[in-house]
Structure 1
């Protein structure tokens, strides 16, 4: 049987329209359309190798990695208890409130506590170090 859906006799404009590939926006075109900016300050490699930047990254990692691991462990424990410890999670704490509700709300509370701790840590330990790195980078221009 003839494929009439793609037949030029049925759709006359199909024969007349050439198929052209879609035009890509400039961000996908090889090469740069804009001139390279002039480097006026120190390079990233120089900043990254400075003692202030190394200290900054170290301080950040010492806070973020343990805190992330602790929260992930706490969250995974909650999920595993909900999946496999039905009797424990259904224990009543107060009235109709059970352990699962308390631990679930604890997830929200711990998120708020971790966020507040990070903001305090960043304001006291990270931001002053960032200012030192920035001042050194701007002073080297």
Structure 2
């Protein structure tokens, strides 16, 4: 053994659990199921709505080029506005999700993690 190597620790540091969590039990717990359900009820509809919005943009660009070419102000046309709104909606959805997760998802996830780890912060 070199001077930079040290022997492995003889046991876990004091205060830490020595056994691994039973992940099947954690996953089957009502708290985890509720957390997962809450996440899915928010994420899946929002993802579907965004994909429909994006598909509308693609279909209009493909099948209604004359509509997308309508000039609104100067050289700014409907297609350009729709394209820019894709970016705006992406950032808006991200901001909405982060605020939602901070309020509804993260506290429950923290409680489950603390229960698994056997700690309370």
Same fold (TM over 0.5): yes
- Structure 1: runs of 5 or more not aligned: 1-38
Which residue, out of 115, 119, 133, partners 2:112? Answer: 133
> 1:1-141 maps to which residues of 2 (within 5 A)?
40-139=19-118
**C-alpha separation in 1, matches of 2:69 and 2:90:** 23
Higher relative contact order (CA 8 A, sep 6+): 1
Cα deviations by residue, 1:45-95 (Å, 9 ceiling, x for unpaired): 110011110111011101110010000000000000000101100011111
Equivalent-residue separation in structure 1 for 2:20 and 2:100 (angstroms): 29
TM-score (norm 2): 0.80
RMSD, aligned CA:
1.3
Q: Could you tell me how far 1:139 is from its partner in structure 2?
A: 2.1
The structure richer in helix per residue is 2
Q: Which residue pairs with 2:12 in the alignment?
A: none
Structure 2, gaps ≥5 residues long: 1-17
Contact residue 41 and residue 137 of structure 1 kept, 8 A: no
State which structure, 1 or 2, has the greater radius of gyration over its C-alpha atoms: 1
SS of the equivalent of 1:115 reads helix
Q: Is the 8 A contact 1:41 1:138 kept in 2?
A: no
- Give 4+ residue runs of structure 1 displaced > 2 Å after superposition: none
